[in-house]
Structure 1
Amino acid sequence: MQTPGKAPSSLLVVLAFATVYIVWGSTYFFIQRALAGMPPFFLGSFRFMVAGMIMMTWSLLQKEKLFDWAAMKPAIITGLLLLFVGNGVVIWVEQFLPSAMVAIMVSSAPIWFVVLDKPKWSENLNNKTSIFGLLIGFAGVILLFSEKIMISMSSLNSSRDLFALGLVVLGSMSWAGGSLYSKYNAVSPSATVNSTWQMLTAGIAFMPGVIFSGELSSLDLGKIPADVWLATAYLVTFGSIAGLSAYVWLLKVQPATKVSTYAYVNPVVAVMLGIFFAKESISRIQIIGLMIILGSVLLINLHKYRKPKTLTPVV
């Protein structure tokens, strides 16, 4: 996306953030649509294998340095933490957990970014506006989904669903940890190469689940509805290829706390899509939640807009 050593283009940064904010905000809906006709492990394996193969083909056409173990190793580890554990947990629990509950648990990721980013502890923990922004952003997400949470709490199965919620928290931690590992350990300067190996690794990692869960024996590709295939195609092209590539690149050129704001904006996008395309209603409480979330993102980025103090020269 850029020449190594050069500052990233402001336009590219804006486009990458827009991709991660908007595209990933829509994937909750498309994952649930795809799960209506595909079992979870097969969906994860198929989605990431196809996306990875497309990215590999593109990398080869661009003559990227693809088969380099030094670059492959950190990408493989990142793929396991990010896509297999982090994303895999979301795919699995969305079979039976309300999407609102999943969205809130996933939105704890920005907090884990701060907790796990040891090299930046001094900088992040001393940045009061960013910390305050992260906390009120999470509060805004809870407020945004508060009504749905109250409704869904009565339908939760105490043992199974509490276990699933715990898994989502662990998945969020894994996602944050994998993101930070990629930021500090990625060898290849190419976001395309890194994304290729991350997705192929996740696609392969899902395969044992496909086999041992018995999904293959009950799977009939010919009976999968067209809308399920379309939802899966969206997840492959936009959610994986476009979204993940933009995210991996942003991690290299932007502070992790700023990149992590996707977890607050994604639910906002999901709600807005529901209003415009599914004709869902929005309550006053949700509007307040939306405003709080957007305000938190501004707080986290506030230092960017502050003018540097000028020192008066001593005569």
Structure 2
Amino acid sequence: MATENKTPSTLIVALAFATVYIVWGSTYFFIQKALHGLPPFFLGAFRFIIAALLMLGWSLSQGEKVFSYKIAKPAIITGLLLLFVGNGVIIWVEQFLPSAMVAIMVSSAPLWFVLLDKPKWTENFSNKTTIIGLLIGFAGVILLFYEKIVATMSSLNSSRDLFAMALVVIGSMAWAGGSLYSKYNSVSNSATVNSTWQMFAAGVAFIPGIFLSGESKTLDLASVPADAWMATAYLVVFGSIAGFSAYVWLLKVQPATKVSTYAYVNPVVAVILGMFFAGESIIPLQISGLIIILGSVLLINLRHYRKPKPTVSRTY
């Protein structure tokens, strides 16, 4: 998905947001599914290297300029921050923490976007609707998972779980920082080229962990259940290639605070998918959370919907 020096159509932007919102909302479930058969470092390396190879083939077939140090350098740095640290933390902690708790903590990302986006400080902090929308959205996510939070907090009695929660916060900061670095420093206008290098960098970075953690000694690929492989295939095709490419492209053409709303909408999608495909029930408190989250996204984007006031010219 390459960009040109023209404003993208509203339809393309809407489709990209829909991809990030819906696809990424389902990845928490599929990551846990994949972890039932594959260890975390192997999953990260396999997922991103396979996705990178597929995207490399596509980029070369389209005549894209891929092998350039100038293009690769910022993309590699971005990939390490986003996918190795940010996403890698999620993969690792979901061995111990419930996916709902992880989704809650990841939803702090939009707040980090505002705090770390220095070039936009004046614009963001002077816009009350953006700040209020971010805070309301975070509150809505907490309402959405309130019961699960209470149940999880009562069972968190080990230092390992507390360490895992701290890592999720660090991962959210790294994700926001990497996203902003990509927005302001990427050289190529091609989201596929940028994503290719980002995923290669992350995939290679996961490899040492396979050996240091002992996964290489215990992993038996022949015994991995089919469900785990299918979940991994979903993560490669939809989570990495479709979702991540759409995200990287959106960062180039949309305000970072607007793109960051994925972190509020993803838990909403996860709950809705749970209702339809896993038979989960939803209580009135969760419905309130859903409404509040969607309202916060509207509030955050309010200034983009307003028409500029016409300038009145005066003659004397």
Q: Scaled by the length of structure 1, what TM-score is found?
A: 0.99
The residue identity in structure 2 corresponding to 1:64 is E
The equivalent of 1:142 in structure 2 is 142
What whole-Å deviation, never above 9, does each CA across 1:46-70 have from its counterpart, x for those lacking one?
Answer: 0001000101111111111000000
Note if contact 2:79-2:197 (Cα within 8 Å) is conserved in structure 1.
yes
Large movers: runs of 4+ above 4 Å: none
Task: Note the C-alpha offset of 1:248.
Answer: 0.2
Q: Structure 2: how far apart are the matches of 1:101 and 1:140?
A: 14
Give % identity: 76
Alignment partner, residue 5 of structure 2 = 5
For 1:1-315, list aligned pairs within 5 A: 1-315=1-315
The 1-side partners of 2:298 and 2:154 are apart by 35
Alpha-carbon offset, residue 220 of structure 1: 0.8
Q: 1:298 to 1:43 in 2, by over 3 A?
A: same
Q: Deviations over 1:188-227 (max 9, x none)?
A: 1110000000001000000000011110111111111111
SS of 1:285's equivalent?
helix
Compute the TM-score of the two structures, normalised by the length of structure 2. Answer: 0.98
Residue 232 of structure 1, CA deviation? 0.2
Q: Read off the aligned partner of 1:307 and give its amino acid letter.
A: K
Q: Root-mean-square deviation (CA), in Å?
A: 0.8
Change (3 A) 1:3 1:150: closer
Q: CA deviation at 1:304?
A: 1.9
Report the Cα offset of residue 158 of structure 1. Answer: 3.3
Deviations 1:13-59, CA, capped at 9 Å, x for gaps: 00100000000000000000000000000000000010001011111
Letter in 2 for 1:170: I
- 1:8 partner letter: P
Report if aligned partners of 1:45, 1:204 keep a CA contact under 8 Å in 2: yes
State the secondary structure of the residue aligned to 2:182: helix
Counterpart Cα distance in 1 of 2:2 and 2:48? 25
SS in 2 for 1:43: helix
Contact 2:2–2:192, Cα closer than 8 Å, also in 1: no
- Give SS of 2:307's match: coil
The one-letter code of the counterpart of 1:231 is A
Q: Give the C-alpha shift of residue 311 in structure 1.
A: 2.8
Letter in 2 for 1:161: D
- Deviation for aligned residue 1:310: 1.7
* Contact 2:75 2:195 (C-alpha < 8 Å) held by counterparts: yes
Distance (whole Å) between structure 1 residues aligned to residue 309 and residue 158 of structure 2: 55
Letter in 1 for 2:131: I
How far does the alpha carbon of each residue in 1:66-105 deviate from its partner, in whole angstroms, 9 at most, with x for none? 0000000000000000000000000000001111211111
Structure 2: runs of 5+ lacking an equivalent: none
CA distance, structure 2, for counterparts of residue 306 and residue 45 of structure 1:
44
SS in 1 for 2:155: coil
* Mapped partners of 2:150, 2:46: distance in 1: 35
Q: Match of 1:101, as an amino acid?
A: M
User: Residue type matched to 1:99 in 2?
Assistant: S
Q: Aligned partner of 1:113: which letter?
A: F
Instruction: Tell me if the contact between 1:2 and 1:8 (Cα under 8 Å) persists in the aligned partners.
Output: no
Q: Distance in 2 between matches of 1:212 and 1:306?
A: 53
Deviations 1:134-178 (A, max 9, x none): 000001001110100111112113311111111000000000000
Structure 1, unpaired ranges of 5+: none
The letter for the 2-side match of 1:88 is G
**Letter of the aligned partner of 2:172 in structure 1?**
S
In 1, are the aligned partners of 2:4 and 2:189 still within 8 Å (CA)?
yes
Mapped partners of 1:312, 1:46: distance in 2: 60
